């Protein structure tokens, strides 16, 4: 309906019931005076699970408000109630009748369907609706601006359901719901919430609002043939138990099933003071949500009051959460009206111009009056903040009650047991929401927890959540019809018609599953050449096959459309090229080191020899002699350290320090050289023109690949190799023939294929070899449709096969060990560069530098003492005190000093010390002799 269209249509439907005279006696008041009475409407089904409790709660609330002098200051609320009798049409008519009676607000409607229609009229006539039971999330939109929801939206409830499903690891659920605004809105919200958890609704089972048992039976029989065993039931309280009754008769309340009910079921259970055993038997093991009402003095007093009335026969229903919200809705309206009267002091109604019919139509649209203060009263409602029996009543910016929370119940025996809570603040928790609000929010997975659950069938083990459909059909397993490398998968005459390594792995994994899996293997391909594996995976995506089993590589484009199990074989693309024996080069001994490494090593030999000569020259006679002899000594000593064969002894501490460090460096260099040379001479026995991926790409030679392999697409799309260079090969014989011919005679320069095939090929063909490194990393897995739970269970089974050694035993059965070396590490990779040794050279160089600094510091000290002693020789004693010591006049003097032997220098310095002692003794004696004078 449009706004006016819906009003005109509804007015036409009940035109015979409208009495225009009622408009004259409205709620209008004169300015400056408070009205003695204000009309408030209620709209719900009196004889319903929610309505029986809500009716009494609203009447109690009106009575409490009218008796409370602190609210409304003497103004009384007059309640005008209308019973919708579970009819959306009748409820819509009665809503308009209430508006005709000039009510300032309507508490209701109970039905989301009625709320959708009536909200348009309420918005036009500015009459707020306080919906205490309409939970459809779509009612929160701006389109329904005059609807104030005084209960929780199903948007939050469905987020709670999605968290429960995610908590137990289920990925697919079946939604059972009533096909009206309430049911559709809630299930749409559930679908959105599940999508955020990477789960989904696999099937939506909807039934009409007034469906009988036979219709529900047919629906449940249909969904029982589906895979998922997790059911979310979102129906009306008055007919919902029929779903569980039918499910029990069909055997769907036993082991392996999961039933999650929204808060309608909690309303049913709570509305009966003593649990009906027949009712409880229907819902054993179900998980139920209930709107959380925090404990408070107001709640306890209200609950006690209600219990007394129920025992005295004044209440026809026990207390449920919707009764709490209905009671607080009256108080919310009373507080808002009180604020409104305090500011406005008047309640007026006026004609709505667009409803005036100048032609005098019999529809009497003019009887509907607009509440002039409706927009301001609406603002007061949304700004009201008070503590009620349901907790704090306060609305957020979106018009929803703050702090949405739910109790999570588990039905068992003759009652229910709370297993946890959910709130949008902390998610799932065993701590009450009002306690969680005191702590920082923590919605991490590790903090989410629930107490144990007794599931249908009286089992504590968490159900798997899915099962094979009970339709007697085995899974259709697509198997590639290979014509080569039949060790992996091939056709045979067994009952399964297939055999091979991949088939045995799959069967072994299926045998580990805790449930039987009927299988039917179907060959895919014509048997003349290997089929396209992309086409095989596509058939799984199209549901032609239920799974694909074989040597199927897990690559990106395939994972976009199907799910794979855990890889059971590691794989990757490698290059196979022909090899031939070659003789070692006469200069092969130079190859372990790069030119830079050779140069730096030679320079350091000479440098260290020179440093040791400097440090030993003054002390060690073996490092003295003619210049020619000393030069030969430096060279001989330097290079003899390479073989630890130096015959010259080092006597100085600094020389020994430098030599120890250098000998350690030489040891490392020698060891590395020996190992590298050995490796190079071994590798040189086999050589190929193709050294790796780069050399393969930069040539223009033909490249072979296996028919059906993803290698072709990888080389053309990822490596940008021209498709004209690629040659398809079907079997190992084609491989060998093409490689032997070579690119010059119509063959190929190399073949790019996956490692498992190459290893099998090389096990009997030692004339070929893999070169370079494996340049992709992937594996083989079994393909299943997206979100298939069987893929997850088989992944676990494959891991168990790997851990217990069965996977290796199956490998050894079908795939013989290779008889040839499969990897060629090039010579270039074995050459040692300076980068591998610069740290050792740095340490040795620093040791030499430190030793030289210490040596020359000592030389300068000795030279200073030596020169001062030489200056005093031949100078009369009477003049020595007047002569300043001579300083260095030429670098030649220092060089000559350095060239002197150590013991000669020390002898001169020692004579100087003795001479100074004699002079001091003489001076003392002269002083004693002169003393008597």
Rounded CA gap, 443 and 424, in Å?
9
62 shares its domain with 162 = no
Q: How confident is the model at residue 231 (pLDDT cuts 50, 70, 90)?
A: very high
> Is there a domain that residue 577 lies in?
no
If you search the block for the tokens 């019973």, which residue do you land on? 83
Same domain? 494 vs 598: no
Single out the residue in 814, 840, 874 at which a domain terminates. 814
Q: Which of 258, 801, 755 is closest to 513 using CA atoms? A: 801
Residue 448 located in a structural domain: no
Same domain, 526 and 672: no
Task: Over range 81-100, report the average pLDDT.
Answer: 88
Within a domain: 244:
yes
- Percent of the chain at pLDDT > 90 equals 47
What are the Cα distances from residue 8, in Å, to 134, 350, 402, 497? 24, 18, 37, 72
Among 639, 656, 680, residue at a domain's last position:
680
Beta strands in 761-914 (DSSP E): 768-771, 778-780, 783-785
List beta partners, residue 163.
Answer: none
What is the span of the domain harbouring residue 642? 588-680
pLDDT average, residue stretch 394-413: 94
Asked if residue 448 lies in contact with residue 427, where contact means CB atoms within 8 angstroms, the answer is yes
From the centroid of its chain, how far is CA 585? 56
pLDDT digits (tens, 9 = 90+) for 656-707: 777 777 777 778 777 777 777 776 666 545 455 677 888 888 888 999 999 9
Same domain, 307 and 286: no
Position 6 in a domain: no
Query: Same domain for 142 and 162?
Result: no
Backbone torsions φ then ψ of 428, nearest 5 degrees: -70, 140
| pLDDT beyond 50 at 9 | no
**What is the count of structural domains for the chain?**
5
CATH code of the domain covering residue 329 = 3.40.50.2300
Q: Are residues 83 and 168 in the same domain?
A: no
Asked if residue 534 is part of any domain, the answer here is yes
For residue 880 the two structure tokens come to 């020595």
Same domain as 129, residue 80: yes
Cα–Cα distance for residue pair 370/127, rounded to 1 Å: 8
User: Model pTM greater than 0.85?
Assistant: no
Q: Is residue 621 part of a domain?
A: yes
415 and 285 in one domain? yes
Residues 344 and 268 in one domain: no
> Looking at the structure, do residues 281 and 429 belong to the same domain, yes or no?
yes
Work out the average pLDDT over 873-902.
52
Check pLDDT > 80 for residue 35.
Answer: yes
CA distances for 428 relative to 188, 285, 418, 425, 432, angstroms: 21, 19, 12, 9, 10
Q: For residue range 728-755, list pLDDT tens digits in order.
A: 998 899 999 999 998 888 899 999 999 9
Q: Across residues 471-493, what is the average pLDDT?
A: 89
Within 10 Å of residue 446's Cβ, how many Cβ atoms? 6
On whether both 415 and 281 belong to a single domain, the answer is yes
* Beta strands 391-393; 386-388: pairing state: antiparallel
pLDDT computed for residue 874 by the predictor? 47
- Give strand ranges (E) for 225-371: 230-234, 258-261, 287-291, 349-351, 369-371
pLDDT above 60: residue 583? no
Q: Rounded to whole angstroms, what are the CA distances from 768 to 296, 698, 816, 819?
A: 83, 21, 18, 12
Q: How many C-beta atoms lie closer than 10 Å to residue 767's C-beta?
A: 13
Query: Is 171 in the same domain as 272?
Result: yes
The pLDDT of residue 650 is above 90: no
Q: Which tokens sit at 37?
A: 């009475």
In this structure, how many other beta carbons lie within 10 angstroms of the beta carbon of residue 511? 12
CATH number at residue 532: 3.40.190.10
């Amino acid at each position: 309906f449009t706004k006016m269209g819906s009003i005109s249509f509804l007015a036409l439907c009940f035109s015979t019931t409208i009495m225009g005279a009622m408009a004259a006696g409205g709620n209008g008041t004169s300015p400056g005076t408070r009205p003695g009475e204000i009309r408030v409407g209620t709209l719900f089904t009196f004889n319903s699970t929610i309505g029986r409790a809500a009716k009494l709660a609203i009447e109690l609330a009106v009575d409490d408000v009218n008796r409370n002098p602190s609210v409304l200051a003497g103004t009384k609320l007059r309640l005008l109630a209308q019973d919708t009798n579970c009819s959306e049409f009748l409820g819509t008519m009665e809503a308009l009748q209430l508006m005709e009676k000039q009510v300032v607000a309507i508490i209701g409607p109970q039905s989301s369907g009625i709320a959708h229609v009536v909200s348009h009229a309420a918005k036009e006539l500015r009459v707020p609706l306080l919906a205490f039971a309409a939970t459809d999330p779509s009612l929160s939109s701006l389109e329904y601006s005059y609807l104030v929801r005084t209960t929780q939206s199903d948007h939050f409830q469905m987020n709670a359901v999605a968290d429960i499903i995610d908590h137990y690891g289920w990925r697919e659920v079946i939604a059972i719901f009533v096909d009206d605004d309430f049911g559709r809105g809630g299930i749409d919200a559930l679908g959105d919430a599940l999508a955020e958890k990477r789960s989904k609704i696999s099937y939506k089972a909807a039934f009409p609002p007034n469906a009988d048992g036979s219709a529900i039976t047919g629906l449940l029989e249909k969904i029982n043939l589906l895979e998922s065993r997790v059911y979310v039931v979102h129906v009306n309280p008055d007919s919902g138990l029929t779903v569980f009754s039918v499910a029990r008769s069909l055997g769907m309340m036993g082991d392996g099933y999961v039933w999650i009910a929204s808060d309608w079921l909690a309303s049913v259970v709570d509305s009966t003071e003593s649990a009906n055993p027949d009712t409880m038997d229907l819902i054993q093991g179900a998980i139920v949500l209930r709107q959380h009402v925090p404990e408070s003095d107001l709640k306890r007093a209200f609950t006690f009051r209600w219990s007394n009335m129920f025992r005295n026969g004044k209440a026809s229903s026990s207390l449920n959460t919707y009764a709490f919200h209905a009671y607080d809705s009256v108080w919310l309206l009373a507080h808002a009206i009180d604020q409104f009267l305090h500011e406005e002091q008047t309640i007026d109604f006026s004609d709505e111009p667009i409803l005036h019919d100048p032609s005098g139509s019999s529809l009497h649209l003019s009887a509907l009056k607009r509440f002039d203060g409706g927009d301001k009263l609406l603002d007061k409602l949304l700004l009201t903040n008070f503590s009620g029996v349901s907790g704090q009543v306060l609305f957020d910016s979106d018009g929803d009650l703050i702090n949405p929370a739910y109790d999570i119940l588990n039905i068992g025996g003759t009652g229910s047991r709370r297993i946890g809570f959910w709130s949008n603040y902390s998610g799932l928790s065993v701590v009450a929401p009002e306690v969680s609000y005191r702590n920082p929010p923590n919605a991490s997975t590790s903090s989410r927890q629930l107490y144990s659950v007794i599931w249908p069938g009286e089992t504590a083990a968490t159900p798997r959540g899915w099962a094979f459909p009970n339709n007697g059909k085995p899974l259709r397993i697509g198997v590639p019809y290979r014509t080569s490398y039949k060790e992996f998968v091939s056709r045979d005459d067994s009952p399964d018609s297939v055999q091979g390594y991949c088939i045995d792995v799959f069967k072994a994994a299926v045998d580990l599953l805790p449930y039987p899996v009927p299988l039917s293997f179907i060959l895919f391909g014509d048997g003349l050449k290997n089929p396209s594996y992309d086409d095989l995976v596509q058939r799984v995506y199209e549901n032609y096959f239920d799974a694909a089993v074989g040597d199927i590589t897990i690559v990106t484009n395939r994972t976009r459309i199907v799910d794979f199990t855990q890889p059971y074989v590691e794989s990757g693309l490698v290059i196979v090229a022909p090899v031939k024996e070659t003789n070692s080069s006469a200069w092969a001994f130079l190859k372990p080191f790069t030119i830079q490494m050779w140069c730096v090593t030679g320079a350091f030999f000479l440098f260290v020899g020179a440093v040791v000569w400097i440090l030993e020259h003054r002390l060690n006679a073996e490092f003295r002699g003619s210049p020619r002899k000393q030069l030969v000594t430096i060279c001989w000593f330097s290079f003899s350290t390479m073989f630890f064969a130096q015959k010259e002894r080092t006597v100085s501490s600094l020389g020994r320090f430098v030599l120890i460090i250098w000998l350690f460096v030489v040891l490392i260099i020698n060891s590395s050289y020996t190992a590298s040379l050995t490796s190079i001479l071994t590798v040189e026995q086999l050589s190929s023109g193709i050294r790796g991926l780069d050399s393969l790409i930069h040539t223009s030679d033909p490249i072979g690949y296996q028919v059906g392999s993803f290698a072709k697409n990888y080389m053309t799309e990822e490596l940008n190799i021209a498709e004209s260079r690629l040659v398809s090969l079907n079997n190992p014989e084609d491989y060998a023939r093409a490689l032997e011919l070579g690119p010059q005679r119509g063959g190929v320069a190399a073949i790019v294929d996956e490692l498992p095939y190459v290893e099998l090929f090389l096990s009997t063909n030692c004339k070929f070899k893999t070169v370079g490194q494996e340049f992709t990393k992937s594996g083989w897995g079994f393909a299943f449709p997206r979100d298939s739970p069987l893929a997850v269970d088989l992944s676990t089974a494959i891991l168990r096969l790997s851990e217990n050694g069965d996977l290796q035993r199956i490998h050894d059965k079908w795939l013989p060990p290779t008889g040839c070396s499969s990897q060629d590490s090039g010579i270039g990779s074995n050459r040692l560069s300076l980068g591998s040794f610069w740290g050792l050279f740095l340490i040795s160089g620093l040791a030499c530098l430190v030793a030289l600094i210490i040596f020359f510091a000592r030389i300068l000290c000795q030279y200073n003492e030596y020169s001062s002693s030489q200056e005093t020789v031949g100078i009369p004693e009477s003049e020595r005190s007047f002569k300043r010591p001579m300083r260095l006049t030429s670098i030649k003097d220092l060089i000559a000093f350095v060239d002197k032997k150590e013991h000669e220098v020390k002898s001169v310095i020692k004579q100087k010390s003795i001479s100074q002692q004699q002079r001091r003794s003489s001076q003392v004696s002269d002083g004693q002799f002169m003393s008597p004078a």
